[in-house]
């Protein structure tokens, strides 16, 4: 939601956890920008969520579904 | 919430379950490493969606559970001192030491405080210069970067009243110890996604190769876990033993470089005793010599006493995946979350607590 701090190790961000707002350390995600989703553990962002990678599981499921429909049609 | 709710979709979960049923032809035993995954599996009933050939056994990835009894006793000794404000994650407060627990020390007048982040403990030290602030640094590679930054900040701020009781543990050496055990039943691992978010997954390649075991970096939501199981079973069924990344939205192969750099700056690898398992070589992190001034064990001169676990508690076997929680005679009878005998019944990541909370107790007790 917002980012503060100049020193990379002091960098902190206000994060929206589904309505609850908390300040967490961004020391380990220098690439994180306002609007990004991050994985947070004990007050530290550990990883920025990659939105393209996040879609993969749904694409995989869709492919699986198409494949099984194809098989049914073939049978 | 985005990146959460969509990974809990029941229809899509069923689709994964059907695919797992379709590809499974033989019995396979998989271990999920992380206690967070165990809780998701039991809470959402993921194990009940799987074919009966697939057994999920629960791994040692509960930091509170594996913190050795001797370390809890040291925490209790330090927390009792009148000059100390003892800070800890909330989970540790009810973990039984050999005689008492931190919550009882607090009730008896000890200044024990729950903090959300280790950096809160550093702030407390700045605000309370007349007191000694001690933080109980437990956890895996996921938590260690937070502890490392707290120590690093305290050093930069030249805080003399801040120290840490460190009991950090590392996942890959514990996996190897499990694989070396003659009772090992594990044929495939779901590796802990958040540990890998920090460390990456290159350390797993030699393990997968040497022990011929598939290792799938897996997330924590139901669809993550089901996909992790599917990927493991696909490998097992086709005779492969590789490292794959299911949790690619959060985990990169090389992990989190800034976090690893600070870990290297502050910590060194040390042998560590795991509660219920025993000492595992090179399985822990301890403070480097240049940060020794922040080592609470040295600062307060606490000595290690050999202590015995409760004879009724089988948490060691639970942590090694050799029995399920309800197979312990004390489960739900002598041992409950209100009166825990072992840490696995206390922690929000403990397997016994998960079974107690989410499974119907009469069924479990009848199944004994």
User: What CATH number does residue A49 fall under?
Assistant: 2.30.30.140
Q: Is B304 helix (H, G, I), strand (E, B) or coil?
A: coil
What pLDDT digit, counting tens, does each position of B7-45 carry? 998 899 999 999 999 999 999 999 999 999 999 999 999
Give the minimum alpha-carbon distance from B166 to chain A in angstroms, rounded to a whole number: 16
Q: Is the pLDDT of residue B51 over 60?
A: yes
d(CA B259, CA B66): 23
Q: What is the DSSP string of B85-119?
A: EEEE-GGGGG---SS--HHHHHHTT-EEEE-SSHH
Give chain B positions within 8 Å (CB) of A40. Answer: none
**Per-residue CA distances from B225 to A53, B17, B47, B228, B256 (Å):** 16, 11, 10, 5, 22
Spell out which residues of chain B touch residue A18, defining contact as CB-CB under 8 Å.
1, 4
Name the minimum distance, in Å, from the CA of B16 to any CA of chain A. 8
B5 contacts chain A (CB < 8 A): no
- The pLDDT-based confidence of B366 (bands split at 50, 70, 90) is low
How many beta-carbon pairs below 8 A join chains A and B? 91
Has residue B368 got a pLDDT over 60? Answer: no
Q: Which CATH class is domain B18-297?
A: alpha beta
Best CA proximity match to B280, nearest among B125, B173, B154, B157 = B173
**Considering its fold, how many domains does chain A have in total?**
1
* Rg of chain B taking only CA atoms, in angstroms: 21
Confidence of residue B172 (pLDDT cuts 50, 70, 90): very high
Whole-model pTM: value is: 0.92
Which tens digit of pLDDT belongs to each residue from B133-160? 999 999 999 999 999 999 999 999 999 9
Question: What gap in Å lies between CA B74 and CA B302, rounded to an integer?
Answer: 6
Put simply, the answer to whether B15 touches A58 (Cβ < 8 Å) is: no
B312: pLDDT confidence band, cut at 50, 70 and 90?
A: confident
Count CA atoms within 13 Å of residue B24 on its CB side: 21
Taking CA atoms, B21 is separated from B7, B25, B27, B119, in Å, by 20, 8, 11, 46
CB contact under 8 A, B118 and A43: yes
For residues B280 and B269, the answer to whether their CB atoms sit within 8 Å is: no
The whole-number pLDDT of residue B5 equals 83
Contact B248 A56 (CB under 8 A): yes
Q: Is A39 helix (H, G, I), strand (E, B) or coil?
A: strand
B148 interfacial to chain A (CB closer than 8 Å): no
Domain ranges for chain B:
18-297, 315-366
Q: Which domain holds residue A54?
A: 2-74
Q: What is the pLDDT of residue A29?
A: 95
Mean pLDDT to the nearest integer, B152-175: 96
- What is the model's pLDDT at position A73? 67
- The HSE-up count of residue A71 (CA atoms within 13 Å, CB side) is 6
pLDDT at A72: 66
Interface pTM, i.e. ipTM? 0.88
Chain-wide mean pLDDT for chain B? 93
The pLDDT of residue B108 is above 80? yes
Distance, CA of B91 to CA of B357 (rounded, Å): 16
| B354/B290 Cα distance (integer angstroms) | 40
pLDDT digits (tens, 9 = 90+) for A55-75: 999 999 888 888 777 776 665
Residues of chain B contacting A28 with CB distance shorter than 8 Å: 145, 256, 258-259, 262
Whole-number percent of chain B with pLDDT over 90:
76
d(CA B318, CA B273): 16
> pLDDT tens-digit profile of B185-234?
999 999 999 999 999 999 999 999 999 999 999 999 999 999 999 999 99
Is residue B250 within 8 A of residue B219, CB to CB? The reply is: yes
Average pLDDT of the segment spanning A9-36 = 91
Distance CA(B212)–CA(B235), nearest Å, equals 11
Cross-chain Cβ contact B146/A25 below 8 Å:
yes
Q: What is the pLDDT of residues B236-249, one digit of tens each?
A: 999 999 999 999 99
Chain A contact set for B231 (CB, 8 A) = none
Smallest CA–CA distance, residue B95 to chain A, in Å, is 19
Residue B180 corresponds to which tokens in the numbers above? 């070396």
């Amino acid at each position: 939601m917002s980012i503060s701090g100049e020193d990379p190790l002091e960098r902190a961000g206000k994060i929206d956890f589904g309505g609850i707002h908390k300040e967490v350390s961004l020391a380990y995600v220098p690439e994180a920008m306002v609007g990004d989703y991050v994985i947070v553990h004990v007050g530290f962002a550990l990883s920025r969520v990659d939105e393209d990678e996040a879609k993969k599981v749904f694409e995989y499921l869709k492919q699986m579904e198409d494949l099984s429909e194809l098989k049914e049609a073939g049978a | 919430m985005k990146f959460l709710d969509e990974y809990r979709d029941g229809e899509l979960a069923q689709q994964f379950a059907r695919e797992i049923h379709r590809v499974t032809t033989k019995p396979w035993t998989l271990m999920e490493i992380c206690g967070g995954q165990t809780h998701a599996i039991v809470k959402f009933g993921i194990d009940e969606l799987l074919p009966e050939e697939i057994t999920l056994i629960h791994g040692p990835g509960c930091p509170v559970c594996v913190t050795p009894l001797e370390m809890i006793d040291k925490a209790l000794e330090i927390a009792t001192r009148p000059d100390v404000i003892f800070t800890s994650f909330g989970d540790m407060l009810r973990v039984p030491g050999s005689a008492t627990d931190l919550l009882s020390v607090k009730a008896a007048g000890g200044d024990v405080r729950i903090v959300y982040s280790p950096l809160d403990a550093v702030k407390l030290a700045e605000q309370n210069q007349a007191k000694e602030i001690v933080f109980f640094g437990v956890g895996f590679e996921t938590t260690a970067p937070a502890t490392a930054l707290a120590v690093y900040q305290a050093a930069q701020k030249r805080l003399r009243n801040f120290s840490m009781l460190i009991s950090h543990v590392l996942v890959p050496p514990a996996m190897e110890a499990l694989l070396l055990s003659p009772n090992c039943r594990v044929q495939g691992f779901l590796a802990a996604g958040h540990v890998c978010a920090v460390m990456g997954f290159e350390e797993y390649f030699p393990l997968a190769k040497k022990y011929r075991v598939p290792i799938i970096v897996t997330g924590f939501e139901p669809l993550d876990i089901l996909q992790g199981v599917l990927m493991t079973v696909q490998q097992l069924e086709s005779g492969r033993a590789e490292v794959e990344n299911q949790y690619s939205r959060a985990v990169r192969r090389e992990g989190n470089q800034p976090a690893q750099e600070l870990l290297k700056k502050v910590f060194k690898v040390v042998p560590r005793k795991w509660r219920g398992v025993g000492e595992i070589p090179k399985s822990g992190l301890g403070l480097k010599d240049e940060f020794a001034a922040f080592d609470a064990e040295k600062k307060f001169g606490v000595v290690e006493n050999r202590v015995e676990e409760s004879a009724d508690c089988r948490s060691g076997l639970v942590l090694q995946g050799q029995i399920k929680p309800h197979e312990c005679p004390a489960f739900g009878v002598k041992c409950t979350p209100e009166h825990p005998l072992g840490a696995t019944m206390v922690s929000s990541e403990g397997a016994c607590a998960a079974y107690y909370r989410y499974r119907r107790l009469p069924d479990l007790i009848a199944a004994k």
